Amino acid sequence: MKKACILSVVALSGCVTTPVVSDFNGSSVKIQESFGGRAPSAETKAEAARICGKVGKKAEGASTRELPNYQTEYLFLCL
């Protein structure tokens, strides 16, 4: 029983993923997140701020799009 509990915790920890930048053009950045929701996670917002900061701009959320395989793509404008 103890082994089953440990295995389930390890399996669930695999669900947490790092946000991935899928597109950046200097004016906007798209970031994909596994198991995302309507609102981006704090990690996703921080990554958008970091990327937009490279061109001296601030990230502002613009839209959310559901992708296949439980992926969510967030579009941030760099203003």
Residues 6+ apart with CB under 8 A from 19: 31, 32, 33, 40, 41, 43, 44, 47
Enumerate the domain spans of the chain. 17-78
How far apart CA 66 and CA 58 sit, in angstroms, is: 24
User: pTM of this prediction?
Assistant: 0.78
Tens of pLDDT, residue by residue, the chain (79 residues): 555 444 444 444 455 578 999 999 999 999 999 988 889 999 999 999 999 999 999 999 999 999 998 999 999 999 9
